[in-house]
Chain A
Amino acid sequence: MCGISGMINAKNVAHPLYASIRNLEYRGYDSCGMALLDAGKIWTRKNTGGVEEVNQRERLTQLSGRLGIAHTRWATHGIVSRENAHPHLSTNEAFAVVHNGIFSNYQDLREELEAEGITFCSQTDTEVFVQLMARHYDRLQNTERAFVAALEQMEGSFAIVMISVHELDRLFCAKRNSPLILGLGEGSNYVGSDINAFLEYTRRAVVLDDDEYVMLTQESYQICSLRDGQQVEKNILHIDWDAETTRKGGFAHYMLKEIFDEPQTLRQALKIPDEEIRKLAQKFAEAPQAYLVGVGTTFYVAQLGQYFFSQLTGRYFPAISSDEFIDIAGVQAQDLVLAVSQSGETYDTKMALNFARQRGAKTAAIVNVMGSSIGMQVDQIIMQGSGPEICVVSTKAAMAQTLILLRTAVETGRQQGNLDDQQFDSFIAAVDRLPDLIQDALNEQSGFLRNIARSTSWVPNWLFLGCGQYYPVAMESALKMKEVTYQHAEGMPAGFLKHGTLSMIEKSVHSLFFVPLPEQQDLHRRTLIAMEEIRTRGGTLAGFVFKGDRHAYEVLDYAVELPTVHPWLAPLLQMTMAQLLSYYAALDLGRNIDKPRNLAKSVTVG
């Protein structure tokens, strides 16, 4: 996972280019660099560290030139070092490239080139490409033909942008299996891994497909196919995301901002036309079997979906973690596989979908990022429209995905006749109130959550417990806690506790309970049993309870009392509260909240 950016302008691009990799930093941040073309020469600066840090040391913004490329890296091949940072130059310094993806055959090509006497200065796959490019140019004396020839030899995935001393007013770029988007400005053009690279400068974008390459000048662009060299016409998208929404807007961290965005995100998810939901529901109703896939947070979203479908349609559609999908899912032709992915670039999920397609299954996806490769591949795509999610830890996107799955399950239930009109109408009425309810809860509970976080942020081991549909919420919330606080939290069904884990309970082991509504009598009773099991062994209990639940409230050492809500929506409310709790715990511990260590926003490698 890396962020790449390129731009061409009438003026110096150093500052906007720097700003663009600042905006892409969430895609990776272990090293970065920029290369600009000026006075017939390529000037490169790069180093290890975050974008701001590298700029302080290398003064990236002091470069000058009308066209340039930039990169922010998250290492997959080769150690994190200055040499391995992008951009990479050919030995003759005639070409510079930035690359996101993996050239899988780079070892063989490197050996060939080394045999010809070319010395490499990095261990990266990317340098192989740029050296190869230089060699082809020497032979062909034509940049475009050399670019295509070099790319023809490369296997694997790439989104690549190149500048050359032979091309004083053109940028070259191409993609296969890694994202790349053009931005069309006035007297300036842009290319980047996603729209955050240029959202400040233009709203007009062209999403590139696999095996396309582009020659980009200040005033024009030409997209051609790598396969046959034919020119390709493409639609121009107008990006309606407000540039403001991509920034923090006064919040200290994107995570908090994105949690406060949730009411708006849910409203967007409710605006997805009924028609699209009906179409998806029909696929579920018709499919002999359906599977819900996701990985990380989206797996838990899929698990919640599994409960929704089971309760509302009486059918069991297993949720499977994308990375395990191939091993376990006995997918048949005509089955349905629904993938959930914020970025739409998640490698494991893409592989699961590829597998499903090979088996002849139908595919669908809920995706947030426009123009992503998963979105391009599936039979039906639902764009969740949550706006950019910058914090590495997913909050608002997961909420929207959950609501969309719930809407689909409700609709499927209705189509199958499991749900009568009255049940349906009461759901619709409740779901319309949900955004405001969450807005108020975010405000009214913040102080309580902060106080609990302050008192418990030291806790190194948490058990997060819930049963029924609250179990996936416990799992997701535990993941959130781990991601952002680096403290251990284990999610578990409440009824599972006594079958082993109970042995570790003592005072310092804290548990967080996702207590169902009292009206969900069976779930509520089972949860209370687990609470008692912990209490009698001296464990410390925290929990989310709904208003009027005296019984549960009294058992808890730390309780957060939530307003009563429709039972199908209760998990969403608790999920939000747990996100806030993790946020304040991480704040108390001084964690790097928006970019927790070792994590990247979307994992595009296997």
Chain B
Amino acid sequence: MKAVILVANYSPRLLPFTATRAKPMIRIAGRPILESILNGLHNAGVHEALVVVHHEQQALRDHFGNGSNFGMSLEYVEQQELLGIGHALSCCEPYLKRQPFLLVYGDVLADGNPVPQLLRTFAETGREVALVTLPRNSNEYGNVYLDNEMKIRRFIEKPQGRMQSNYVFAGGFVLQPRIFDLLRQHGQSIEACYQYLVQSDGLQADLWEGTWIDLIYPWHILEANQMMMSAWRTAHIHQSARLAGNVQLEGPVVIERDVVIESGAVLKGPCFIGEGSYIGNNSLIRTFSAIGPDSVVGYGSELKNCVLFGRSDLGRLSFIGDSVIGEGVSIGTALTTVNHFSDGKNIVVSTANESVDSGLPKLGAFIGDRARIGARQTMAPATIVPAGSFIEDNISLRGRVPENPKES
């Protein structure tokens, strides 16, 4: 069976990180999201996929190529205009034979692989199948009503103003080619097609009972990172990695090719050190830290529950906690991300258009790609630094920093 993976969309709520990349290129636990999705497909015996691209597609195409490095055969389909999921799917019709296929949304992650059970349910029932799950907040999604045979009897897209929390569509489907006819009949609206399937003879549901995260806001990157890393049970250290004497490792630590770790460093797993990275003397890398490839962590720095996409330099004596740092970021000496308020209240994040309660008592900074941050910075909780910002030495930052495309 062929898979269709939707990765075209632009998600402004994930700024600053989506300004410069497609959402599935966000690194979770050291790997782009799309790589985890491809792994899941591969392990379920699905080796061919159509990837629907648009926003920031070049980097994604360059990274995944024809898929052979990932055991897949990939073809790319460009969605010329972002006109919704139905439209994105329609773009694939010429490339799919009149056969059932898997539809996978490229921005959701689960703490396991739901693809095999999805295929099994399809095989057993012969009906179109939708993966459903219980999210933390179901108002963002298509809410479904299940009966005792796991058929979906009703479907309400993003219920407004009702106190309800149903199982929701989890971004995985097995569909029949008739979906393309339905899309034509329903003005390319995928919701209308789902509604039709539910009302005509009950779309079959397949329950994902594990943890499931859809990345909507930047702090979901940290949640997804924790979810993926929590499943790690073993440590992996590449034979080319060079660990100096007196480096202390605990728990499932993953250290990739050509990593250098200097004396006095302490790594507490689960944590991830990407290819070619350098960890300076006396650094403390605490649980749920994922440091992307070719990064430098300066002397005496502490990292805790944070994601660095890679190719970033972190100055000496810094503290990065509960934060996400984009690619190619340069940080001067002694950056402190303050990650909680002294009153212990949940941290409210001001994004482009709204203020959102993250529900988290601890949250640090979100620093976009290629930002250059001067020395001795202190960032208040939930500081957002846009991609390409240049920030001078010795300032305290708070809230959402205005766009500052002063890239010199």
Choose from B166, B206, B207 the contact partner of A443 (Cβ within 8 Å).
B166
Query: Is B83 in the interface zone, CB < 8 Å from A?
Result: no
- Could you mark each residue 165-188 of chain B with 1 if its beta carbon is under 8 Å from any beta carbon of chain A, else 0? 111100000000000000000000
Which of B28-36, B140-148, B231-239, B300-308 faces chain A? B140-148
Whether the Cβ atoms of B165 and A264 lie closer than 8 Å is no
Whether the Cβ atoms of B165 and A250 lie closer than 8 Å is no
Query: Is A257 in the interface zone, CB < 8 Å from B?
Result: yes
Q: Residues of B contacting A39 with CB < 8 Å? A: none
B172 shortest CB reach to chain A, Å: 15
A396 shortest CB reach to chain B, Å: 9
Which A residues between 222 and 262 are near B, CB-CB below 8 angstroms? 244, 249-252, 256-257, 260-261
- Could you mark each residue 424-468 of chain A with 1 if its beta carbon is under 8 Å from any beta carbon of chain B, else 0? 000000000000000110011111101100000000000000000
Q: Residues of A contacting B134 with CB < 8 Å? A: 446-447, 450
The 7 closest A-B pairs by CB, nearest first: A447-B165, A250-B150, A444-B164, A443-B145, A260-B148, A450-B134, A448-B165
Whether the Cβ atoms of A447 and B135 lie closer than 8 Å is yes
Q: Residues of B contacting A445 with CB < 8 Å? A: 164-165
Q: How many chain-B residues does the 8 Å CB contact rule pick out?
A: 26
How far, in angstroms, from A507 to B144 measured CA to CA in the complex? 36
Nearest-CB residue, chain A, relative to B209:
A252
Q: Residues of B contacting A439 with CB < 8 Å? A: 145, 147
Nearest-CB residue, chain B, relative to A547:
B163
How far, in angstroms, from A256 to B149 measured CA to CA in the complex? 11
Query: Is A263 in the interface zone, CB < 8 Å from B?
Result: yes
Residues of B within 8 A of A (CB): 121, 125, 134-138, 144-150, 162-168, 204-207, 209
B125 shortest CB reach to chain A, Å: 8
The main secondary structure of chain A at its interface with chain B is: helix
Q: How many chain-A residues does the 8 Å CB contact rule pick out?
A: 23
Q: What are 13 A-B contacts with C-beta separation under 8 Å?
A: A244-B149, A250-B121, A250-B150, A250-B204, A250-B206, A261-B148, A440-B145, A443-B145, A443-B167, A445-B164, A445-B165, A446-B166, A561-B163
Nearest-CB residue, chain A, relative to B205:
A250
Q: Residues of B contacting A451 with CB < 8 Å? A: 136, 165
Query: Is A272 in the interface zone, CB < 8 Å from B?
Result: no
Q: Residues of B contacting A257 with CB < 8 Å? A: 148
Choose from A249, A446, A450, A587 the contact partner of B148 (Cβ within 8 Å).
A249
How far, in angstroms, from A91 to B146 measured CA to CA in the complex? 55
Nearest-CB residue, chain B, relative to A441:
B164
Choose from B125, B148, B168, B207 the contact partner of A252 (Cβ within 8 Å).
B207
Residues of A within 8 A of B (CB): 244, 249-252, 256-257, 260-261, 263-264, 439-440, 443-448, 450-451, 561, 587
How far, in angstroms, from A561 to B138 measured CA to CA in the complex? 16
Task: Give the number of residue pairs across the A-B interface with Cβ within 8 Å.
Answer: 61
Nearest-CB residue, chain A, relative to B166:
A443
Whether the Cβ atoms of B148 and A444 lie closer than 8 Å is no
Whether the Cβ atoms of A444 and B149 lie closer than 8 Å is no
Choose from B136, B144, B207 the contact partner of A251 (Cβ within 8 Å).
B207
Instruction: Tell whether A446 pairs with B165 under 8 Å between CB atoms, given A451-B136, A587-B209.
Output: yes
Whether the Cβ atoms of B138 and A447 lie closer than 8 Å is yes
How far, in angstroms, from A554 to B31 measured CA to CA in the complex? 43
Q: Residues of B contacting A444 with CB < 8 Å? A: 162-166
B315 shortest CB reach to chain A, Å: 38
How far, in angstroms, from A249 to B202 measured CA to CA in the complex? 15
Q: Residues of B contacting A263 with CB < 8 Å? A: 148
How far, in angstroms, from A448 to B137 measured CA to CA in the complex? 9
Whether the Cβ atoms of A447 and B166 lie closer than 8 Å is yes
Nearest-CB residue, chain B, relative to A587:
B209
Q: Residues of A contacting B207 with CB < 8 Å? A: 250-252, 256
A243 shortest CB reach to chain B, Å: 13
B210 shortest CB reach to chain A, Å: 9
B205 shortest CB reach to chain A, Å: 7
How far, in angstroms, from A188 to B144 measured CA to CA in the complex? 44
B209 shortest CB reach to chain A, Å: 5
A527 shortest CB reach to chain B, Å: 21
A507 shortest CB reach to chain B, Å: 15
How far, in angstroms, from A257 to B125 measured CA to CA in the complex? 17
How far, in angstroms, from A446 to B147 measured CA to CA in the complex? 13
Q: Residues of B contacting A450 with CB < 8 Å? A: 134, 165
Q: Residues of A contacting B136 with CB < 8 Å? A: 447, 451
Whether the Cβ atoms of A249 and B165 lie closer than 8 Å is no
A379 shortest CB reach to chain B, Å: 34
Q: Residues of A contacting B149 with CB < 8 Å? A: 244, 249-250
Nearest-CB residue, chain B, relative to A253:
B209
Choose from B135, B150, B164 the contact partner of A249 (Cβ within 8 Å).
B150
How far, in angstroms, from A439 to B135 measured CA to CA in the complex? 20
How far, in angstroms, from A256 to B207 measured CA to CA in the complex? 11
How far, in angstroms, from A444 to B144 measured CA to CA in the complex? 9
How far, in angstroms, from A440 to B166 measured CA to CA in the complex? 9
How far, in angstroms, from A264 to B153 measured CA to CA in the complex? 14
How far, in angstroms, from A447 to B148 measured CA to CA in the complex? 17
